[in-house]
Structure 1
C-alpha cells in the first residue's frame, strides 16, 4: 500500500515530505475539530442510551463508519490494518479490557481528543497509558502471529451513500426534538469519517489509538498527527466557548486517566485496535470481528453505566 507517511526526522525532510506532512496536519486538524464539535464518543453515546433513553448518538457513530466507507470506495483503497485480528479469545478479552479502560477514563479515544480541546489536559494521559502498553515489545512477542491485513470493502460508494441516507433518516426521526444538535452531529460525523479514512488511505499506519506511539516510531507523521488533532479540537472549543478554559489537573484525575489508558492499551493490543479502528476500518471492511468487539465494548459499558452510573457528559450539551 502506497503511503506518504514520512518515515524520517524533520531535519531530513524534502519539499515533497513537507507537503505530505502538511496534508496529514490538515486532515488531523479537521478530525480533531469534528471530534470536539460533535461532542461524541462511545462512552457518551452509551450513557445517553442507557441513562437518558436517547439512542441518537449511538446511531450517529455508525454514520462516521459509513462516511469512511464512501472515501475508501471513491479512492479505491481497501481499509488497512497494520496488524490483523487476533483469535476470538484474545478479541473478546481485548474488548472487555478496552471497555473497562474507557469507563475508568470517562471517554473513549474520540472523547479524549474532545476533552483535551476543552482544556482538560490531564485526559492526554490516557494516550500515555496506551503508549506504555503498545510500545512494550515483549507483549507483542507473547501474542500469536497477526500480520497486516487489507479488508474487502462492504460495497461500492453508492451502497454506503444509500445506507447513510437511511441511517440519517432514522436519527432524524429519533432526534426530532433537537434539530440544531442533529445538524451539528450530522456534519461532524461526516467530517470524522471522511478525514479519518483519507488519513488512513494516504498514511496507512495512522490510528488515533496509537498516535502517541507513532511519535516515537514515525517521528514526523506521529508528531504532526497528534498536534493537528489537538489544535483542531482546541479551535473547535474556542469557536464554541470564545475562550480556552484550562482545567487544573488533580492527582486523582491523572491517575484515573493513566489507568484508563493502560487498560485501553491492553485491549487495543489484544483486539488489535481501539474503537476508532473498529468503527472506521473494521466496519467499512465488513469485518465480523469488528462488529463483535464493538458490541462487546458497548455491552460492557452499558452494564457498568447501568450498575454504577457514569461521569461521561457531552461537552456540547
Structure 2
C-alpha cells in the first residue's frame, strides 16, 4: 500500500483544477484584449460580459464556501490611488503591445504561438525591476472585503445565479471557428472553441475549487512573488503554473501523440520583442495596482474591492485607445497609398 504524503492529495486536486483552467482558457480563447476589440470591431460585448460573469461566479462560489466555513484567508487589498489608474492604463498598454492579456497569453501558448512564451519572462523581468523602484513608494495596506460578510439572502441569491450560469454554460452551443485565436488551423479550431460564457464559467468554477483547496492563486501572482523573492512563492505554486500550461497545450499534445501536424505561426524577432516588452509593462503595472489582470478578474473583483474595478476599467480604456489609434493610422496609411497609386 502506498502512503500518500500529507499534502499530496490537496496538491494533486489543486493541480487538476489548474489543469482544467488551462483547458478552459485555451478552448474559450479568453482574453481582455479580444473582448475590447470585439466591442470596437463588431459592436458586441459578449466576451467582456463573460469575463465579468466569471467574477460574479467566483463571488457566488466564495460566498457559498464562506457559508460552509471552508473559505481560507483572503489576500491583501489596496486603496484606490492615482497609481491604481496609471497601473491599469499601463497594464492595458502592455497587453496591447503583447497582443493579449495574461489570460490571453496562456490561450495563445496553448494555440502553439510559441513567441508568447516570452511574455511570462518579460512579466517576471518587469516585476523584478519594478519591485526595486516602486516598493518604497506604493504602500499596500490590508483592507477587509465586504463580500464574505453578505447576508444569508444574498448568499441564496448568488447561489441561484451560480447554478443558472453553470446550467447555461453546460447547455451553450460552441462558438464558430472564427472566434478562435489568430493562427489556429481552421479544421482544429472548429472542434476546439467554446463559447466565451461556457469557458469563463468553467474558469470561475475551477478557480473557486482551487481557492478553497490551496488559497487564491494566479500565475501572474506566482511570477510577481518569485521576482520579489517572497517566501510564499514556493515550488508548489510554480507547479500549478506548469499544470495550467499543460492544460492549455493538452490538445496540441494529444495531436502530437497521434502523429498529426498543424500549421503554426512562425516565431519572429519582432513578435518576440513585442511579447517581452508587453510582458515587462504588464509586470511593472501589476505592482502599481497591485495584481495582473487574471488576479483582478478572478480574485480582487469578486471580492468587491474598488481598486480592482477601477484598474480593470482603466485597462479596458487603454486597450480601446490603442486599438482605435491603430485603426485610424491603418486607414490613413491605406488612403495615402491609394492616393500615391
The aligned residue for residue 59 of structure 1 is 49
Worse overlay, 183-192 or 261-270: 183-192
The aligned residue for residue 21 of structure 1 is 11
Worse overlay, 107-116 or 66-75: 66-75
Distance between the aligned counterparts of 1:168 and 1:202, measured in 2? 20
Q: Counterpart of 1:37 in 2: which secondary structure?
A: helix
Shift of 1:48: 0.7
Distance between the aligned counterparts of 2:59 and 2:44, measured in 1? 26
The aligned residue for residue 26 of structure 2 is 36
The aligned residue for residue 77 of structure 2 is 84
Alignment of 1:47-126 (within 5 A): 47-76=37-66, 77=71, 80-81=74-75, 83-126=76-119
Assess if the C-alpha contact under 8 Å between 2:79 and 2:141 holds in 1.
Answer: no
Distance between the aligned counterparts of 1:138 and 1:258, measured in 2? 19
Assess if the C-alpha contact under 8 Å between 2:60 and 2:161 holds in 1.
Answer: no
Shift of 1:247: 4.2
**What are the Cα deviations for residues 231-266 of structure 1, in whole angstroms up to 9, with x where unaligned?**
101114567996565544211111100000111011
Distance between the aligned counterparts of 1:245 and 1:230, measured in 2? 20
Unaligned runs of 5+ in 1: 1-13, 173-177, 311-317
Instruction: Tell whether 2:326 aligns with 1:308.
Output: yes
Tell me how many residue pairs correspond in the alignment.
Answer: 290
Distance between the aligned counterparts of 1:109 and 1:54, measured in 2? 22
Shift of 1:19: 2.5
Assess if the C-alpha contact under 8 Å between 1:119 and 1:244 holds in 2.
Answer: no
Shift of 1:132: 1.3
Shift of 1:162: 4.7
Instruction: Tell whether 2:247 aligns with 1:232.
Output: yes
Shift of 1:223: 2.6
Q: Counterpart of 2:174 in 1: which secondary structure?
A: helix
Distance between the aligned counterparts of 2:108 and 2:125, measured in 1? 21
Distance between the aligned counterparts of 2:61 and 2:84, measured in 1? 27
Q: Counterpart of 1:180 in 2: which secondary structure?
A: coil
**What are the Cα deviations for residues 204-255 of structure 1, in whole angstroms up to 9, with x where unaligned?**
3522323334567534223311111111011145679965655442111111
Worse overlay, 25-34 or 152-161: 152-161
Q: Please give the root-mean-square deviation of Cα atoms over the aligned residues, in Å.
A: 3.1
Distance between the aligned counterparts of 1:17 and 1:168, measured in 2? 30
Alignment of 1:1-317 (within 5 A): 15-76=5-66, 77=71, 80-81=74-75, 83-136=76-129, 137-153=131-147, 155=150, 156-163=154-161, 179-181=173-175, 184-204=195-215, 206-213=217-224, 218-236=233-251, 246-309=264-327
**What are the Cα deviations for residues 126-182 of structure 1, in whole angstroms up to 9, with x where unaligned?**
11111112234423532332145552217444333455688899x99xxxxx95329
Q: 1:305 to 1:131 in 2, by over 3 A?
A: same
Distance between the aligned counterparts of 1:205 and 1:165, measured in 2? 22
The aligned residue for residue 9 of structure 1 is none
Distance between the aligned counterparts of 1:194 and 1:180, measured in 2? 19
Q: 1:212 to 1:282 in 2, by over 3 A?
A: closer
Assess if the C-alpha contact under 8 Å between 2:46 and 2:196 holds in 1.
Answer: no
User: Which structure has the bigger radius of gyration?
Assistant: 2
Shift of 1:283: 2.0
TM-score by length of 1: 0.80
